[in-house]
Amino acid sequence: MSCAACLHPTADDKVACSGYCEGCFHLSCAGLSREATKELGKKPQLGWFCTECAEFRNGNRSGLVGELGAMLDKQKAELLTKLNGSLASLWDNIQAEFTKTAEKLVDVTAKQALKRLANSHSLASPYRNALVSPPHGRTPVPATMDNAPKRRLIDSSPLVATAPPPSMAHGTAIPPPNIRTVPEHEERTWIYLSRFAPDVTDNDVLALTRTQVDTQDVINDPWLRALRAFNTVGDLFDHNLSLVGFRSRLLSPTP
pLDDT in tens, 154-179: 556 665 556 665 555 555 556 666 66
pLDDT bin (cut points 50, 70, 90) of residue 21 is confident
Q: How far is the C-alpha of 39 from the C-alpha of 242, rounded, in Å?
A: 98
Q: How far is the C-alpha of 118 from the C-alpha of 139, rounded, in Å?
A: 32
pLDDT for 163: 62
100 versus 196: which is more confidently predicted? 100
Is the pLDDT score of 112 beyond 70?
Answer: yes
Q: How far is the C-alpha of 42 from the C-alpha of 206, rounded, in Å?
A: 94
pLDDT bin (cut points 50, 70, 90) of residue 239 is very low
Could you tell me the sign of the dihedral formed by the alpha carbons of 153, 157, 162, 163, in that order?
negative
From 18-27, 64-73, 142-151, the region with the lowest mean pLDDT:
142-151
| Mean pLDDT on 77-81 | 90
Q: What is the CA radius of gyration of the chain?
A: 53
| Mean pLDDT on 228-238 | 48
Long-range CB pairs of 111-114 (<8 Å, 24+ gap) are none
Is the pLDDT score of 253 beyond 60?
Answer: no
Angle ∠(232,237,239) on CA atoms, nearest 5:
100
Percent of the chain scored above 70 by pLDDT?
55
pLDDT bin (cut points 50, 70, 90) of residue 255 is very low
Highest mean predicted confidence (pLDDT) among 75-84, 154-163, 166-175, 195-204: 75-84
pLDDT for 122: 65
Give the domain ranges of the chain: 1-49, 63-132, 191-221, 223-255
Helix (H) or strand (E) holding 15: strand 14-16
pLDDT for 195: 61
User: Which phi and psi (to 5°) does residue 155 adopt?
Assistant: -70, 125
Superfamily of chain region 1-49: Zinc/RING finger domain, C3HC4 (zinc finger) (3.30.40.10)
Contacts of 143 (CB under 8 A, 6+ apart): 151
Contacts of 133 (CB under 8 A, 6+ apart): 156
DSSP-derived secondary structure letter, 169: G
Is the pLDDT score of 186 beyond 60?
Answer: yes
Overall pTM > 0.85: no
